[in-house]
Every structure is written in structure tokens, then in C-alpha cells.
Structure 1
């Protein structure tokens, strides 16, 4: 009898639909998809699809039939409930407390205060002597949504009121951390935490924080500082995507996403490493140790989103593509479909699709990526 996997999901994502579900099938797992949005997932999964309140670990536990082999989620919002449900059944899982700390930015700052003190306050109670500029953001937000750089108390109040007009979850105001932005991609099996690699991230101009380009690079020499902070948070199992800045030899965490990197960089990471990454992540949740991997030869890679520059209806755009441009391997996966209405938000939600390029040299990768973008049209009417 096949081992049973319960995959806990909210909204549909390519990471689940085209990554983890096919990986589970290749592993021969009997997969049940638990979700509070069954209509959205209809047609993405051949196995059982069960509706439940996936934000509540008790509802996840109640939805499990029999003896599961693993309970897994790749959602930012569902790490803690999935971890609690897995712990109930005695399964390998993330520490639910670490998952809660990673998701809740106020808890994260409080927990790391002895290692790396960063000013952080409830956005409604920011003291007059706060170290402006500050970054205003939802306490448990994602995708740079409603994240703004504010330079004084008046601007803070204006932005706070703008956000409150369309969402009512808590906001925090944090000290702005200068420096070069990096990511750290890790995978742990409970015994070893393996660094998979790092991207250098290019952001849009302030006051917004849209990720415009991610470039594969060696982890900076300050990376051990981040690993120490992740250890303090309790991060050490499964996939984790950490964003941090380096300035004057000091590495400081911006946020911890206790799941695999998204926006199609997960597929780029799998291609770069040359390993079945999605399967290996599921395997650690099945109790398997990390296998030995050969370090890939030096390659250059870029993930570059195509970003909407206006609101309207998407009337022309390429579909999924894979092609070679000389020695450079290119792939494109759309995040919006022709006919979709696009509203510019100045967040990562403005992505129309992402181009991935892998080659041996930076110049050839950049040139191939530029040719690809010039050869295709994305039209918003």
C-alpha cells in the first residue's frame, strides 16, 4: 500500500501544482490535498481533494483518514497549523513555534533581539523618537504587499490609513536596514541544515519593494551570521527561504519564509542544482535523510519577472516556453493569462510571468535574456 501524504494548501500556486504534486506522484505517494479553496484546485490534482479550514490544525487533524506518512505545506500562512497537525500524528515536521516566529515579524524581532536588535513597533504605537526612515509592513504579510518606506511620522500615518482602508490585520514599523539584499536557500532533515545557495536581489526604487531580478551567486561570507540567527529561531527542518542584507560586514535578516522560494525561482533552483528538489523536500517530511549531492559546476543564472507597467487587460503574452539560445537555457512560465485584468499594485503581484536563464557566463546569460524579452510581447490594453 502506498504511503499517504496530506498536502495542505490555500490558494493555488505553481510550486504546488507543477512542483510538489507531480513530485509526490513520482514518489508513488497516495496524496490527499486539503484546502479551503477546493474550486481553485479543481483539475490540478488527480487524487482526493478535501475541503477543510486549513488555518486550524484541529480541522487538519480531523480531515486525516488513517495513518499518514507525512503532512506537508508550502504555504507561508499554513506552516504552523501543518506542523501542529504533523506533531499530533508523531510525524517529522517543523517546530510549530519556529514556524510561528518566522511568520510573525514582531515575534521574530523579539526572539532575535539578543543577537541582532532591530527597532520594531506596532504601527499604531510608534514612539516619537523612532529611527526614521522606517519600513511599514503587515505583521504577517507576503509578496511585498502594502510594504512602504516612510520617512517621518506624517508619512507613516498617511500610509497606515491607506492600508487600513483595505485590510485590517496588524501592521509593524521596522527600522530600515541598509545593504545589499541577498537570499539564503536552505534544506534541513532535522540532523543537517544544508545551504543550497543564494540569490542577489534587485529591488524597485523606494518607497516600494518589488523584486525585479534575482541573480544566482555564492552565499556572501557573512552567511554564518544568518545561520546562527536561523538556529536561534529554531529553523532547521524542511525548506526555508531567508531574505537578508549585508552592510559593513554585518548580515541582518529582513524576513524568514519557512518554505521553498517562490515566483518560479524554485524551478530555477532545481535546474541549477540538478537534483529532484521537490522530491527531496517531501522526502525529509517522510523521515528520510538528505542524500549526498554533487556541487554543480559554476554556472550563472537569473530569474527576471516581467512586471506590469500599467493597469488594464492583458491582451498579448507568451505561454509557457523552454528553449536554448546558444549555450543558454531559457524557460518562461506565465503568472497571468491572456484576458486577465491587471491592477498595478507595486508589489510582486504585478508579475505577468518570469523568465529563467542558465548559462556559464554572466554576459551570455544577460544577452540571451535580453533577446528573449525583445522577441516577445506583453500587451496590457
Structure 2
């Protein structure tokens, strides 16, 4: 059976998660991408084999045309935020299991997400869109408010603004960096940032747990630390699931970010209709003790998932990102790809930035230097394991 996997740049989720899982399932894999050389480098020496084919993956017509000329597909899949709608349309064209393309579009388009939830009577968030180059002077939002790209990812160009002067300044700065981007100006939803991780086959949906997220100080929204919670309160989960149902989310993995307000109200920040990233999906598989990536692929092959996944509920985890604090060249960092299992705790470290690489300070997730995570039966123990690793190592940036 042939799996077509659509991708932009290589990610740990694909290289260390989905492609090894596809090999374990006995699937033949064709990676369609517009970053062929990067993928070929990423797969050098890998435990799996796959073919990598050049394709304009952001155009569903090109994807369909290319697949039509090659091996018959058993599944068309992507874990990219940017490619869910294209992947869903291609899967539908070939009569395969796939996401509803309308749900994929609603999840990606933050303006459409807000409008749809409001029309369904589930949550009305004050929100407006700015076309590329449009001046925000005509807007009268309630302050403070959030400015962000309508189809953005990874906290890039997401900022909190206090007044109309700051709004105009931040919009101008973002438009200079993203001249073709539509921006969203929306109500600031205060509260604790949480996630809900789900997995479905289009008939049954499993709630896998979630994370509580510590963010950097405002005005930026860099995710610094995530801690696992096996179960949010049931009323909170029900609120989030009702909104996912309204959006049409059902097949495969979904990573939903929401704010939990003091009155118990759960308000969605964004819906990422794919597996959680930045190695949290690798950690999630360890936490739950299930073949997570295989299960996601099985759902996209049209298989019915087990009623009970056999997931563990006795593990805790901490996922911490080491961030650059200034621009410059990374000249010292721990040895890459460290992993240790001892005393019931799994500790993993993976670099995000290579030694010798020079970067500006972005004030986004692109400032990550490396990611440390630990899984074990006690929260204090895993917190201590991560803290000890960070304290024992150094990341040095020189101008």
C-alpha cells in the first residue's frame, strides 16, 4: 500500500514519528514536497526508506495531478499546518479516508474559525480582519487586543497591543515582514493556556489528555514549558469538544489550544488540525505508551481505531524549550540527540539550532535552541530531571 505524505520543511514529527511508523506498518511511502534536498538530507541514514518527489504541495491541483501519474494511493496524509486543506481535497478526490476539507480550512483560517463558532452560538470573540496593506485606523477594538496573521503558526508575529497607537505600529511592522498576509485583530482572552489532544477515526474520538502551557511575558507568546495533565475537568473537555464538533473536526490527530478562564469557561485560541509539534508528539507517545503515530496513520488508511487504545494514565511529563535571549551565533551547545532511561524516568534532548548557525532574535518559537523533555510517574521528579539537565549544560551565543 502506498502512502503519499505532503510536507514543506522536514520536521521531527515526520522524520522521527510518522515515517518510522509507516515503515512499521509496511507502507510504501512517497513524500511530496517543495523542499526535496532538505528532506533527502534529513533522511540520510534513517531506519526507513521512502521516495522524495518534487511537488508544489500548496496547490491541491498539482498534488492530484502528480499522484494520478504514479502508484495508486492508499492514503494521502500531512502533518503540516499549511497543507491540511490541500491534503483533504486530494484524499477526497481519490475516494480515500480524509479530513473534511471545510473543517481543515476553518481550523487554518483564524478569521473563519471565529465566524463559524459565533454563527453556531458557541463562542463570540470580538474579531476583525485587515487585508494586506490595510490601515487599522478604522478599527475600534477593545484594548488590550491581539494582532496575528490569519494563517500564522508558531506564535510568529503574534503580539499583544495596549492602545490604538501601538496597534498601528505593530500592524505596520508585521505588514513590512508579511506584505501579502491578512491579519486578525481580536479580543485578548485572558486565562490559563491549555491544550487538548485528540485522535479520531471519523466515528470515534479519543481524548488523550492535554498540556498546561507557560508562556513568555507579554507582549509575545512564546511557549516555554508544557506540563502534561491526563485529564482536564470533564466540563472543560465537553466545551472544547462541542466546538470541535461544530468545526467538523473528527479524523486523525488534533491539537487544540484554549484558554481556561477563572469561571471554568474554555475559549479556543486556535485549532491545529494535526499532531502537536516541537517533539511533544514524541513525548506524548512515551507518556501514553501507545503506538501513537501508527494509530494516526491507520485512521487515514480508513481503519477503525480500537474502542480502548490502552493508554497509560499514570505518567507525568515536562517539556521545556531553551530559548535564545539575544541575536548572534550559537557557538556552544550540548551534544545532540541525548536520551537516558533511568529510575523510571525517560529524559530526551534534541537541538533545534545547529552550532555555528547565526540568527536574529525573533521573539517567537524560532528562538528555540533545544528542547528537553522528561516522562515519569511523578511531576516533581520529571521537573527535577529537566532542571538538572539544563543546569548541567550551556548554550552560548556570541555576537
TM-score w.r.t. length of structure 1: 0.97
- Establish whether residue 62 from structure 1 lines up as the match of residue 65 from structure 2: yes
**1:272-323 C-alpha deviation (Å, 9 max, x unpaired):** 0111111111111011111232241422101001111111111111211111
Q: Is the 8 A contact 2:222 2:363 kept in 1?
A: yes
Runs of 4+ in 1 over 3 A off after TM superposition: 43-46, 123-129, 324-327
Which range is displaced more, 345-354 or 133-142? 345-354
What is the rounded CA distance, in whole Å, between the counterparts of 2:385 and 2:107 in structure 1?
Answer: 37
Corresponding residue number in structure 2 for 1:72: 77
- Establish whether residue 321 from structure 1 lines up as the match of residue 338 from structure 2: yes
Q: CA deviation at 1:126?
A: 6.6
- Establish whether residue 310 from structure 1 lines up as the match of residue 326 from structure 2: yes
What is the rounded CA distance, in whole Å, between the counterparts of 1:196 and 1:126 in structure 2?
Answer: 44
- Establish whether residue 232 from structure 1 lines up as the match of residue 239 from structure 2: no
Corresponding residue number in structure 1 for 2:6: 8
Q: Is the 8 A contact 1:188 1:239 kept in 2?
A: yes
Q: Tell me which of 96, 101, 105 is aligned to 2:106.
A: 101
**1:175-233 C-alpha deviation (Å, 9 max, x unpaired):** 00011110000011010111111000000110000001000012233110010000000
Q: Is the 8 A contact 2:141 2:186 kept in 1?
A: no
What is the rounded CA distance, in whole Å, between the counterparts of 1:366 and 1:48 in structure 2?
Answer: 40
SS of the residue corresponding to residue 115 of structure 2 reads: helix
Q: CA deviation at 1:128?
A: 5.0
- Establish whether residue 115 from structure 1 lines up as the match of residue 122 from structure 2: yes
What is the rounded CA distance, in whole Å, between the counterparts of 2:357 and 2:197 in structure 1?
Answer: 32
**1:115-172 C-alpha deviation (Å, 9 max, x unpaired):** 1000110144575542111100000000000000011111110001111111121111
Corresponding residue number in structure 2 for 1:281: 296
TM-score w.r.t. length of structure 2: 0.93
Matches within 5 A, 1:1-381: 3-45=1-43, 46-64=49-67, 65-113=70-118, 114-123=121-130, 124=134, 125=136, 128-168=139-179, 169-217=181-229, 218-221=231-234, 222-247=236-261, 248-291=263-306, 292-318=308-334, 319-324=336-341, 326-381=343-398
Specify every segment of 5 or more residues in structure 1 that has no aligned partner in the other structure, as ranges.
Answer: none
Q: Is the 8 A contact 1:126 1:173 kept in 2?
A: no
What is the rounded CA distance, in whole Å, between the counterparts of 1:152 and 1:335 in structure 2?
Answer: 35
Q: Is the 8 A contact 2:64 2:90 kept in 1?
A: yes
Q: Is the 8 A contact 2:109 2:151 kept in 1?
A: yes
Which range is displaced more, 183-192 or 215-224? 215-224
Q: Is the 8 A contact 2:290 2:310 kept in 1?
A: no
What is the rounded CA distance, in whole Å, between the counterparts of 2:169 and 2:141 in structure 1?
Answer: 17
SS of the residue corresponding to residue 157 of structure 1 reads: helix
What is the rounded CA distance, in whole Å, between the counterparts of 1:66 and 1:351 in structure 2?
Answer: 39
Q: CA deviation at 1:362?
A: 1.7
CA RMSD of aligned residues (A): 1.3
What is the rounded CA distance, in whole Å, between the counterparts of 2:97 and 2:177 in structure 1?
Answer: 38
What is the rounded CA distance, in whole Å, between the counterparts of 2:390 and 2:51 in structure 1?
Answer: 40
